[in-house]
């Protein structure tokens, strides 16, 4: 099992974190032996959000060996050619250190921002995955950029992972350790059906948000920002690392060893698998 750190792209305090915070996080993660730096994307969100690819580009310039990963890039919202161009540039500037997690996204505001019907996200994603691979193959021959597919773990989503992906990006925001285990069993069967070797198919879990504060009112405010229509608040409070350092350590101590995830500021990701 390997551990990654998510860059602090979310502005819980009302403003995007400054460059010094982002770069400091990237340098510290590499120095501490984390294997991957991650960032995810929103065009519009309840709080200020730093563009994930821009954040990874800044990190690439100040790190040497740590891998970079999108967790995940909004393929349908951005479009396969514009996103492909940006990914190719980032892969080049990072010296070939990029892995790409892709998703259609689950936030309607992102789709409204670009005038794409939200209900078409899955059908467009299937088409855009093929278009993205074709773009990268034409513009960057031998690009070698792994394209992972993000899924919360529905059967339809896992079939899409098996069909399109070079790896599976799961979400601890929407999943427990037990659910993840069941999903892996289903995904293993689907990989066999499409002729992919399950033992060579990697996976990662994007873990919960982290925000440390000794102010209970601030913790409640931040927690309220995390609740989405897809989750009940009761499902998240005990698993969200929001609160004082002591509170967060106690939450981690209640987890099973396989469910422990090390974070940096913001939302983090844990790489596992082959």
Handedness of CA 250, 21, 110, 130 (dihedral sign): negative
Cα distance between residue 175 and residue 161, in whole Å = 16
Q: Would you place residue 28 in the very low, low, confident or very high pLDDT band (cuts 50, 70, 90)?
A: very high
- Percent of the residues in the chain that have a pLDDT greater than 90, as a whole number: 65
Name residue 170's beta-bridge partners. 205
**What distance lies between CA 175 and its chain's CA centroid?**
14
Spell out the domain ranges in the chain. 4-214+256-272
Which residue intervals of 140-267 are DSSP H helices?
155-164, 177-193, 216-226, 233-237, 245-253
**What global pTM score does this model have?**
0.85
User: What span, in angstroms and rounded, lies between the C-alpha atoms of 218 and 216?
Assistant: 5
Q: Is 225 exposed, middle or buried, given 0-12, 13-18 or 19+ CB atoms closer than 10 A?
A: middle
pLDDT of residue 231: 57
* Residue 204 pLDDT greater than 70, yes or no: yes
Average pLDDT over residues 227-254: 75
- Average pLDDT score over the chain: 87
CATH of 4-214+256-272, one of 3.20.20.30, 3.40.50.11240, 3.40.50.360, 3.60.15.10: 3.20.20.30
The CA–CA distances, whole Å, from 108 to 1, 11, 126, 260 equal 34, 20, 18, 31
- pLDDT band of 47, cuts 50, 70, 90: confident
Tokens of 211: 């925000």
As a whole number of angstroms, the distance between CA 25 and CA 55 comes to 11
163-195 tens-digit pLDDT: 999 999 998 877 788 899 999 999 999 999 999
Task: Provide the pLDDT for residue 92.
Answer: 94
pLDDT over threshold 50, residue 213: yes
pLDDT of 221 > 70? The answer is yes
The residue with tokens 């540039």 is 89
């Amino acid at each position: 099992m390997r551990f990654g750190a998510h860059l602090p792209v979310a502005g819980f305090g009302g403003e995007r974190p400054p460059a010094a915070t982002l770069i400091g996080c990237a340098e510290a993660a590499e120095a501490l032996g984390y294997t991957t730096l991650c960032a995810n994307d929103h065009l519009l969100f309840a709080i200020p959000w730093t563009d994930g690819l821009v954040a990874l580009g800044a990190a690439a310039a100040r790190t040497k060996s740590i891998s970079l990963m999108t967790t995940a890039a909004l393929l349908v919202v951005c479009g396969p050619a514009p996103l492909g161009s940006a990914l190719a540039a980032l892969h080049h500037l990072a010296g070939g250190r990029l892995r790409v997690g892709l998703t259609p996204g689950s936030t309607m505001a992102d789709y409204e921002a670009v005038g794409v019907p939200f209900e078409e996200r899955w059908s467009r994603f299937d088409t855009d995955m093929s278009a993205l691979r074709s773009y990268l193959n034409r513009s960057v021959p031998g690009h070698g950029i792994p394209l992972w597919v993000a899924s919360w773990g529905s059967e339809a989503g896992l079939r899409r992972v098996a069909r399109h992906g070079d790896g599976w990006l799961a979400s601890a925001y929407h999943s427990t350790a037990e659910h993840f285990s069941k999903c892996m069993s289903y995904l293993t069967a689907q990989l066999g059906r499409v002729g992919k070797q399950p033992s060579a198919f990697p996976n990662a879990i994007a873990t919960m948000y982290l925000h440390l504060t000794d102010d209970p009112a601030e913790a409640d405010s931040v927690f309220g920002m995390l609740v989405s229509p897809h989750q009940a608040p009761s499902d998240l409070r005990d698993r969200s690392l929001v609160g004082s350092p002591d509170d967060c350590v106690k939450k981690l101590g209640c987890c099973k060893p396989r469910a422990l995830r090390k974070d940096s500021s913001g939302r983090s990701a844990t790489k596992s698998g082959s």
